[in-house]
């Protein structure tokens, strides 16, 4: 869909055309057309048609023929809020179970079928809904409908106790890895428990309590499925290069015979109501004390929600916000923010701050400053720019949200599920356009000012003296002996579909769609920047990626973090404007400018509505050519970097990556994290940053990639004018990788306190990256070992053993060197067993090689995935960045396709023998020493403690 460039006022003034009538009787069963939404071409909106099957399934179809792919989403209106006391985590458990096969899809085949079709897939659960989705080449649509229908209507009879047990272990692993072993991981769980009354649908975590998960039985799960997973409680949304009249018969064929489930009524809106502040606290394995304040407000879709969002923006979004100015700028906090989080039944207004240890402030002091900020809003009022910034942001977000078919389908599914109105863009834009200063001040006084909330303190272990106040609230917890209530899940009958076709036969995909590689044009700017661009007229936007050869590898080990600090300083004050003024100007344009450093480049990512491109690029020139390098900005960023690194040193994955890199790269800059080390950051000065900028931050040799709805004649003059006064060439990169001699077939153990999980890295030096050479061949070889969800490693450690939430292996590299790495975060009690399984899978693959079936699976999966590679501007930027990096034309994609088709079993097996010798690998383990050392000793490897 092509959109013209409109102002926000114009967008909101245009109406939306819609009609409702019965669809053509030639369609199966005369499927009723509930609504047809076909707005004018110049309106920011998502066209769709909405239907309803006789069994209650809502079907939404959005036609978008810009790319030969389709996105299929099934959203069930069931999340953790539909669960019962003592039975938490059921909806999330089903997110796992429904990938385990169904009556006509074998165990562990769902992922394999979608991957082999060249697609991607996943599922997500929150308090209010669960969704399952996949993006595939359009010729695979029927197969996706067959898959989704099979688990909707033919799931329960296929569930085995073994599948149940494995996924129960996997869910517990996920909770351990993503909640219990993550810094501040239990924050939301504790706050929700204090915010909502005992038994409120939001009072337990989506992932569930561990005790509830342990008590769960397969009978419980089956009843939960029968209650909530009927077609009348689901929305099927299909978007992409489809024809509605061809899709509907397929939908009717696969979903039509599935019987309705029990009727589902809307839950009552139930924002929390507190009579006084509730203070709670916890010690955690963290470095920085955190204060989190949460105040109940309204619910999703409430008319006051947009004004509350603007209020949160004023208080805590960006460096113009009150909290940034009062806490972060004076270095009282490392980070501070505010937000307004909405769910179906309730919303909360939140404020948080990570206290800066050097400031010597307790969380009580931080709370006092936050409350003073709240009080100051009455005197400050609401400024014109507060409202204009919010309106610009919602306009830009609405347009950028149309860049992918998955993004559009997600919006349609969400809005239908909760508001029965699939496309709400016009309404949302209008609601923000109508907000006044009085509206914001009214909601401020009504919902936030002096209103009670939950105040959570999270402090490092042994530092309870830092909490904001003594706990005055203890939540009631579930007692299975006492809290017994009548269940709504009892004795629901099984439902069986009656088909007039053989559902056990998987549909055959049609011919692969023609893939259109982006057509590019190129030039070189007078200052030596190489430009590669493509026209993309799906949305009126422009995305730019500027790469300047000044990355981490230009720094010595003693300078580690210098490039990253320069990138951060580029978003601070300039010679003519404060950082706040630059940020406000970008916000009012709805534009984004981000700077970051990687190994070889400092990257500037620029995203803009094309109508605002020239104004955005004027700001980019100011940022790049006239940085102020103020001492106060540097000192603040330096302290934030130090505290951020201290925080990262509490994270097992960060520690494992650090130790692994040091073993692989020794004393080289490549061994050190891009952010730097505590020593290098502390020794850095603003003069170092200035000197590095003057020496290295030069345009010659740089690369500029552009994706825009502007044609070459329209865009090239804009780019030629960009940075015309910027001249010079930085020093050449003098960098060589020499892998140190380390003891291989050895376990290197890093101790981490109070760790319920262990982080494992297994690997060795490999080969530099290329596009079509041996490196690429090695990635093909690894695909079935650890490169896909249903790879040997992941199926073993996650699906068969239940040791981890996920395990994988991969080849990584740049033009200098590369690595082969296998990794997972596993339960501490199975650390040694996990290493044993890793080594078994790698050794077995090396000795026995790839099977003919696996080889064909790899070929199908990789070649058919090409339809998904160029859809969004971001994907196109990445694709073209590769072309510039390797001085290649787009023909490399065809060379890769031919390589995938022609690579032999013998070549795959040769590469496996060459790069998968575990005797040449190191094993890094980050975990609690007392828990894991006795296990590791049983493996028989030498152990070196780092």
Query: Tens digit of pLDDT for each residue in 428-486?
Result: 999 999 999 999 999 999 999 999 999 999 999 999 999 999 999 999 988 877 776 66
**Two tokens, residue 647:** 């925080």
**Distance between CA atoms of 547 and 603, rounded to whole angstroms?**
5
Query: Tens digit of pLDDT for each residue in 634-643?
Result: 999 999 999 9
3-class SS of residue 688: helix
**Residue 536, C-beta contacts closer than 8 angstroms, at least 6 positions apart:** 518, 707, 708, 709, 873, 876
Whether the Cβ atoms of residue 71 and residue 132 lie closer than 8 Å to each other: no
What pLDDT, on a 0 to 100 scale, did the predictor assign at position 20? 34
Average pLDDT of the segment spanning 876-895: 90
Q: Give the model's confidence band at 869: pLDDT under 50 very low, under 70 low, under 90 confident, else very high.
A: confident
The strand pair at 454-460 and 278-284 is best described as parallel
Q: Given this chain, do its domains 8-255 and 278-403+420-466 carry the same CATH topology? A: yes
What pLDDT, on a 0 to 100 scale, did the predictor assign at position 2? 34
Lowest-pLDDT choice from 104-113, 122-131, 526-535, 821-830: 104-113
Q: For the chain, first and last CA: distance in Å?
A: 56
Taking CA atoms, 457 is separated from 288, 293, 468, 469, 936, in Å, by: 11, 9, 6, 8, 37
What pLDDT, on a 0 to 100 scale, did the predictor assign at position 932? 95
What pLDDT, on a 0 to 100 scale, did the predictor assign at position 490? 65
- Read off φ and ψ for residue 63, nearest 5 degrees: -90, 125
**Distance between CA atoms of 904 and 850, rounded to whole angstroms?**
10
Q: Give the model's confidence band at 6: pLDDT under 50 very low, under 70 low, under 90 confident, else very high.
A: very low
What pLDDT, on a 0 to 100 scale, did the predictor assign at position 489? 60
**Two tokens, residue 200:** 């409120």
What pLDDT, on a 0 to 100 scale, did the predictor assign at position 163? 79
Q: Give the model's confidence band at 19: pLDDT under 50 very low, under 70 low, under 90 confident, else very high.
A: very low
- Domain definitions of the chain by residue range: 8-255, 278-403+420-466, 520-721, 746-945
What pLDDT, on a 0 to 100 scale, did the predictor assign at position 660? 97
What pLDDT, on a 0 to 100 scale, did the predictor assign at position 807? 95
Q: Give the model's confidence band at 619: pLDDT under 50 very low, under 70 low, under 90 confident, else very high.
A: very high
Whether the Cβ atoms of residue 603 and residue 545 lie closer than 8 Å to each other: yes
**Distance between CA atoms of 813 and 802, rounded to whole angstroms?**
31
Taking CA atoms, 431 is separated from 12, 302, 427, 439, in Å, by: 9, 11, 6, 11
**Two tokens, residue 794:** 């992941």
Looking at CATH, the fold of the domain delimited by 520-721 is given as Cytochrome Bc1 Complex; Chain A, domain 1 (3.30.830)
Lowest-pLDDT choice from 18-22, 138-142, 144-148, 560-564: 18-22
For tokens 């951020």, what's the residue? 644
What pLDDT, on a 0 to 100 scale, did the predictor assign at position 277? 97
What pLDDT, on a 0 to 100 scale, did the predictor assign at position 488? 60
Q: Give the model's confidence band at 245: pLDDT under 50 very low, under 70 low, under 90 confident, else very high.
A: very high
Query: Which own/partner contact pairs does 581-588 have at CB distance under 8 Å and 24+ positions apart?
Result: 582/619, 582/622, 582/623, 583/318, 583/319, 583/320, 584/320, 584/385, 584/389, 585/619, 586/616, 586/619, 587/318, 587/320, 587/389, 587/392, 587/393, 588/385, 588/388, 588/389, 588/392
Beta strands in 68-129 (DSSP E): 69-76, 120-125
What pLDDT, on a 0 to 100 scale, did the predictor assign at position 23? 40
pTM: 0.91
pLDDT of residue 896 exceeding 80, the answer is yes
Q: Give the model's confidence band at 75: pLDDT under 50 very low, under 70 low, under 90 confident, else very high.
A: very high
What one-character-per-residue DSSP string does 638-693 give?
Answer: HHHHHHHHHHHTT-HHHHHHHHHHHHHHTTSGGGS-TT--HHHHHH--HHHHHHHH
**Residue 197, C-beta contacts closer than 8 angstroms, at least 6 positions apart:** 203, 272
**Distance between CA atoms of 64 and 46, rounded to whole angstroms?**
10
For the chain, what is the mean pLDDT? 91
What pLDDT, on a 0 to 100 scale, did the predictor assign at position 140? 95
**Two tokens, residue 86:** 């003592």
For tokens 């030498």, what's the residue? 942
What pLDDT, on a 0 to 100 scale, did the predictor assign at position 171? 82
Query: Tens digit of pLDDT for each residue in 360-418?
Result: 899 999 999 999 999 999 899 999 999 998 899 999 999 999 999 999 999 999 999 99
**Distance between CA atoms of 866 and 516, rounded to whole angstroms?**
9
Whether the Cβ atoms of residue 292 and residue 456 lie closer than 8 Å to each other: yes
Whether the Cβ atoms of residue 928 and residue 752 lie closer than 8 Å to each other: yes
Whether the Cβ atoms of residue 534 and residue 715 lie closer than 8 Å to each other: no
Taking CA atoms, 71 is separated from 190, 238, 408, 410, in Å, by: 36, 6, 9, 9
Query: Tens digit of pLDDT for each residue in 292-331?
Result: 999 999 999 999 999 999 999 999 988 889 999 999 999 9
Query: Tens digit of pLDDT for each residue in 814-839?
Result: 989 999 999 999 999 999 999 999 99
For tokens 């070929």, what's the residue? 859
Average pLDDT of the segment spanning 178-185: 82
What pLDDT, on a 0 to 100 scale, did the predictor assign at position 14? 28
Q: Give the model's confidence band at 15: pLDDT under 50 very low, under 70 low, under 90 confident, else very high.
A: very low
Taking CA atoms, 738 is separated from 272, 377, 445, 927, in Å, by: 60, 58, 63, 29
pLDDT of residue 5 exceeding 70, the answer is no
Query: Tens digit of pLDDT for each residue in 902-926?
Result: 999 999 999 999 999 999 999 999 9
3-class SS of residue 212: helix
Domain 278-403+420-466 falls under CATH 3.90.1150.10: no
Query: Tens digit of pLDDT for each residue in 659-686?
Result: 999 999 999 999 999 999 999 999 999 9
Q: Give the model's confidence band at 175: pLDDT under 50 very low, under 70 low, under 90 confident, else very high.
A: confident
Q: Minimal CA–CA distance to 283: which of 474, 473, 456, 455?
A: 456
Beta strands in 634-742 (DSSP E): 703-708
pLDDT of residue 528 exceeding 70, the answer is yes
β-sheet with 290-296: strand ranges across: 278-284, 454-460, 290-296, 347-355, 333-342
Query: Tens digit of pLDDT for each residue in 76-118?
Result: 999 999 998 888 888 888 888 888 888 899 888 899 999 999 9
Looking at CATH, the fold of the domain delimited by 746-945 is given as Cytochrome Bc1 Complex; Chain A, domain 1 (3.30.830)
pLDDT of residue 29 exceeding 70, the answer is no
**Distance between CA atoms of 648 and 490, rounded to whole angstroms?**
47
Could you say which DSSP state residue 529 is in? -
**Residue 581, C-beta contacts closer than 8 angstroms, at least 6 positions apart:** none
CA angle 270, 274, 280 (to 5 degrees): 115
Q: Minimal CA–CA distance to 306: which of 379, 393, 399?
A: 393
Report domain 8-255's class. Answer: alpha beta
């Amino acid at each position: 869909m092509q959109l013209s460039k409109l102002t926000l006022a114009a967008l909101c003034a245009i109406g939306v055309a819609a009609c409702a009538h019965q669809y053509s009787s030639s369609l199966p069963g005369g499927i009723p057309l509930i609504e047809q939404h076909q707005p004018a071409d110049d309106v920011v909106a998502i066209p769709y048609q909405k239907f309803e099957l006789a069994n209650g399934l809502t079907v939404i179809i959005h036609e978008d023929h810009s790319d030969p792919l389709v996105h299929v989403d099934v959203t069930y209106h069931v999340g953790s809020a539909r669960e019962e006391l003592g039975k938490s985590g059921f909806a999330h458990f089903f997110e796992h179970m429904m990938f385990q096969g169904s009556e006509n899809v074998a165990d562990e085949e769902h992922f394999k079928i979608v991957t082999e079709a060249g697609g991607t897939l996943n599922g997500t659960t929150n308090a209010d809904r669960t969704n399952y989705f996949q993006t595939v080449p359009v010729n695979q649509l029927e197969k996706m409908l067959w898959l989704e229908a099979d688990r909707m209507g033919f799931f329960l009879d296929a569930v085995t106790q073994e599948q149940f047990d494995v996924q129960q272990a996997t869910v517990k692993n996920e909770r351990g890895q993503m909640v219990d072993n993550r810094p501040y991981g239990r924050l939301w769980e504790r706050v929700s428990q204090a915010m909502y009354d005992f038994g409120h649908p939001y009072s337990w975590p989506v992932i569930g309590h561990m005790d509830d998960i342990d008590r769960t039985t397969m009978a419980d799960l089956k009843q939960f499925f029968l209650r909530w997973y009927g077609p009348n409680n689901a929305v099927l949304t299909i978007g992409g290069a489809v024809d509605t009249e061809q899709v509907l018969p397929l939908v009717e064929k696969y979903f039509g015979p599935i019987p309705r489930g029990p009727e589902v009524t809307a839950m009552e809106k139930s924002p929390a109501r507190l009579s006084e502040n509730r203070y709670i606290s916890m010690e955690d394995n963290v470095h920085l004390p955190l204060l989190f304040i949460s105040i109940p407000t309204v619910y999703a879709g409430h008319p006051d929600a947009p004004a509350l969002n603007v209020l949160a923006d004023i208080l805590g979004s960006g460096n113009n916000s009150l909290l940034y100015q009062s806490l972060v700028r004076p270095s009282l906090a490392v980070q501070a923010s505010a937000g307004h989080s909405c769910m179906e039944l309730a919303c909360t207004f939140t404020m948080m701050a990570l206290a800066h240890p050097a400031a010597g402030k307790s969380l009580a002091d931080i709370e006092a400053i936050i409350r003073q900020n709240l009080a100051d809003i009455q005197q400050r009022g609401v400024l014109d720019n507060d409202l204009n910034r919010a309106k610009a942001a919602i306009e830009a977000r609405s347009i950028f949200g149309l860049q992918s078919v998955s993004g559009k389908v997600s919006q349609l599914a969400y809005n239908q599920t909760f508001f029965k109105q699939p496309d709400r863009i016009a309404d949302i834009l209008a609601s923000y356009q109508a907000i006044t200063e009085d509206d914001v001040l009214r909601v401020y006084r009504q919902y936030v000012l002096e209103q009670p909330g939950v105040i959570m303190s999270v402090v490092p272990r042994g530092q309870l003296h830092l909490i904001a106040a003594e706990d005055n609230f203890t939540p009631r917890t579930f007692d299975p002996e006492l809290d017994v209530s009548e269940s709504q899940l009892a004795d629901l009958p099984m439902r069986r579909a009656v088909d007039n076709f053989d559902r056990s036969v998987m549909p055959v995909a049609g011919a692969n769609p023609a893939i259109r590689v982006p057509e590019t044009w190129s030039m070189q700017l007078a200052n030596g920047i190489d430009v590669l661009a493509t026209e993309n007229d799906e949305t009126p936007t422009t995305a730019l990626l500027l790469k300047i050869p000044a990355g981490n590898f230009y720094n010595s080990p003693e300078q580690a973090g210098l490039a990253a600090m320069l990138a951060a300083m580029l978003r601070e004050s300039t010679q003519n404007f404060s950082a706040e003024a630059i940020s406000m100007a970008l916000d009012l344009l709805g534009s984004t400018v981000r700077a970051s450093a990687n190994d070889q480049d400092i990257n500037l990512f620029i995203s803009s509505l094309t109508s605002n491109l020239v104004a955005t690029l004027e700001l980019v020139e100011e940022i790049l050519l006239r940085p102020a390098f103020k001492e106060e900005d540097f000192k603040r960023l330096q302290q934030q970097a130090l505290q951020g690194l201290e925080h990262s040193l509490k994270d097992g994955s960060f520690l494992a990556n650090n130790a692994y890199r040091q073993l692989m790269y020794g004393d080289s800059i490549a061994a050190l994290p891009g952010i730097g080390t505590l020593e290098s950051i502390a020794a850095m000065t603003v003069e170092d940053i200035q000197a590095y900028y003057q020496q290295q931050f030069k345009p010659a040799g740089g690369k500029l990639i552009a994706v825009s709805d502007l044609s070459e004649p329209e865009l090239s003059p804009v780019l030629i004018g960009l940075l015309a006064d910027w001249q010079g060439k930085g020093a050449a990169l003098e960098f060589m990788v020499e892998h140190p001699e380390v003891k291989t077939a050895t376990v290197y153990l890093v101790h981490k306190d109070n760790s319920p999980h262990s982080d494992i890295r297994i690997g060795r030096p490999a080969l530099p990256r290329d596009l079509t050479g041996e490196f690429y061949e090695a990635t093909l070889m690894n695909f079935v070992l650890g490169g896909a969800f249903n790879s040997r490693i992941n199926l073993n450690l996650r699906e068969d053993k239940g040791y981890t939430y996920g395990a994988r292996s991969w080849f990584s590299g740049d033009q200098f060197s590369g690595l082969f790495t296998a990794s997972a975060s596993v339960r501490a009690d199975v650390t040694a067993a996990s290493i044993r399984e890793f080594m078994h899978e790698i050794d077995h693959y090396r000795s026995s090689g790839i099977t003919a079936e696996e080889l064909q699976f790899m070929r199908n999966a990789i070649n058919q995935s090409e339809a998904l590679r160029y859809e969004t501007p971001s994907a196109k930027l990445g694709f073209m960045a590769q072309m510039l990096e390797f001085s290649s034309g787009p023909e490399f994609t065809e060379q890769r396709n031919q390589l995938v088709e022609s690579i032999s079993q013998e070549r795959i097996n040769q590469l496996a023998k060459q790069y998968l010798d575990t005797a040449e690998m190191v094993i890094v383990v980050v975990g609690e020493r007392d828990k894991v050392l006795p296990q590791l000793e049983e493996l028989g490897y030498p152990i070196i403690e780092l």
